[in-house]
Each structure stands twice: as structure tokens, then as C-alpha cells.
Amino acid sequence: TQLLEQSPQFLSIQEGENLTVYCNSSSVFSSLQWYRQEPGEGPVLLVTVVTGGEVKKLKRLTFQFGDARKDSSLHITAAQPGDTGLYLCAGVDGSSNTGKLIFGQGTTLQVKP
Amino acid sequence: GAVVSQHPSWVICKSGTSVKIECRSLDFQATTMFWYRQFPKQSLMLMATSNEGSKATYEQGVEKDKFLINHASLTLSTLTVTSAHPEDSSFYICSAQGLAGTQYFGPGTRLLVL
């Protein structure tokens, strides 16, 4: 069974600090997605990483896919209160032909002004 | 593009009643939709995979007679929580799978069973 271990699960930082969220697996994924979810809303797709070693940037957010496609990281530079939310990594379950996603446990980020 | 809606956004019901939640893909067709359940500050738990024109595939531990899923068209899937009880109170989220396999999520439905 493919699993995604996400860490840390909770993070509370001051505005302006940097942080990194990790998503690790012992299995290879064809791609990994990162979502951000605000309370009472559905997850919103931030990025999909597909190629091993790939780095994608979205303003102050940098996403990296491991060379072996088993892990990914999300780095936020100079965090803002608006970055507060639940961050989720997800990958397609390779044992299923429906494209269902396996989710990490999530990282709840709180950025204090 | 790729907008998914859910209705209602929140619902309060009495124990023992049934509640239907709709999930619609507004600007694309989705042969596959997924239903998730989420508890506060936790990740999404997949309940079932909904396939247009066929029976849903339920994850282990999810009662198919309790959570009825119907995917009657390429833009609509419904989840009915039958004989709801307080322990069914949760945040229910659907997603619709686009052509490239990307899942687009609805805004969620908060269910409170009294």
C-alpha cells in the first residue's frame, strides 16, 4: 500500500519566517500534487510536479520533486498571514486504475502577524 | 475553468433523517468523481469512487448502504447519507476528475446531525 508521510503536522510561525513542509514515501509516484485548504472550503490545487528533480516556483512558494520521485517538499519564503491554512500533498494511487489520490496527513500552518 | 460546485454548503438535520449532497462539474464532464470525508484539522479520507453509469466503488470500512452514491450524468454525482446519526456529522467534499486526470475539488458540505 502506498503511503505519504507529511511533516510537520502543525507549524506556527511569525510573519516573515521561512518554512519547509515535507512529503515522503517509500513508493514511487508518477506525480505529486500540493493543495492548500482554508477552513470550510475545499482544497485548491497549487502545483503538480511530474519529473524527478523538478523545481517549480509559485511566487514565494517553491516546490521540489525528489530525484527518485518518492518525496517532495514545499518551501515558503517570508511567510505571510495569508499563507495560513492546511497544506496537503497527494499522489495518484498506482494500484488503482481510477486515478484516486493518496493524501498525506496534512500540515496545518499558522502564520502570526 | 474546471469549477466544481456542491449543494448544499451546509445542512443541519435531525437524527434518523436522510440527507442528499450534490456535486456538479460546471464546465467539464467527469466520468469519475470522488467523495471524501474530513474531520477538523485532518486530511481527506476517501469514501468512494463514483463512476458515471455504474456502481460506486467504496473504500474499506465505508458502508455502502449508509452512504448511497449515484452518478447519473457526466456532470452530477450525489451522496445520500441515510438515517443520519450524530457521528455522521462531518465535512464532505467531492472532486471531479478532468480529462488529464487532475482532480478538481468542490467547496465542501458541512453536515451537522442533531
Query: Please, which pLDDT band fits residue B32 given cuts at 50, 70 and 90?
Result: very high
Cis ω for the linkage preceding A39 (within 30 of 0): no
Mean pLDDT for A42-65 is 95
Res B52: pLDDT: 86
Closest residue of A to B58, CA-based?
A100
Interface test with A, best of B24, B32, B43, B69 (most A CBs within 10 A): B43
Res B54: pLDDT: 85
Inter-chain residue contact B105 with A108, CB threshold 8 Å: no
Res A82: pLDDT: 95
**CA-wise closest residue to B81 among B94, B65, B96:** B65
SS3 of residue B39 by DSSP: coil
Q: Report residue B83 as a C-alpha cell.
A: 438515517
Res A25: pLDDT: 94
Asked if pLDDT for residue A96 goes beyond 90, the answer is no
Res B100: pLDDT: 76
Beta-carbon contacts below 8 Å between A and B: 53
The percent of residues in chain B predicted with pLDDT above 70, rounded, is 99
Contact list in A for residue B93 (CB cut-off 8 A) is 42-43
Interface test with B, best of A35, A103, A107, A108 (most B CBs within 10 A): A103
Closest residue of B to A41, CA-based?
B107
Contact list in B for residue A105 (CB cut-off 8 A) is 42-43
Query: Which residue do the cell numbers 475545499 mark?
Result: A42
Asked if pLDDT for residue A100 goes beyond 80, the answer is yes
Asked if pLDDT for residue B40 goes beyond 90, the answer is no
Res A2: pLDDT: 78
SS3 of residue A80 by DSSP: coil
**Cα dist. B67→A36, A50, B20, B34, B36 in Å?**
27, 34, 10, 13, 11
Res B31: pLDDT: 86
Residue-wise pLDDT tens digits, A18-43: 999 999 999 999 899 999 999 899 99
**CA-wise closest residue to A90 among B29, B65, B10, B93:** B93
* H, E, C per residue of A30-60: CCEEEEEECCCCCCEEEEEECCCCCEEEECC
CB proximity B49 to A under 8 Å: yes
Res B98: pLDDT: 85
What is the average pLDDT score of chain A? 94
Q: Report residue B86 as a C-alpha cell.
A: 450524530
Q: Report residue A86 as a C-alpha cell.
A: 492546511
Q: How far is A67 from chain B (nearest CA, A)?
A: 22
Res B99: pLDDT: 78
Within 13 Å and on the Cβ side, how many CA atoms surround A39? 7
Res A66: pLDDT: 95
Strands A107-112, A10-14: pairing is parallel
Query: Please, which pLDDT band fits residue B101 given cuts at 50, 70 and 90?
Result: confident
State in Å, rounded, how far the first CA of chain A is from the last one: 41
Nearest to A103 among B41, B44, B108 (CB): B44
Cross-strand partners of A111: A13
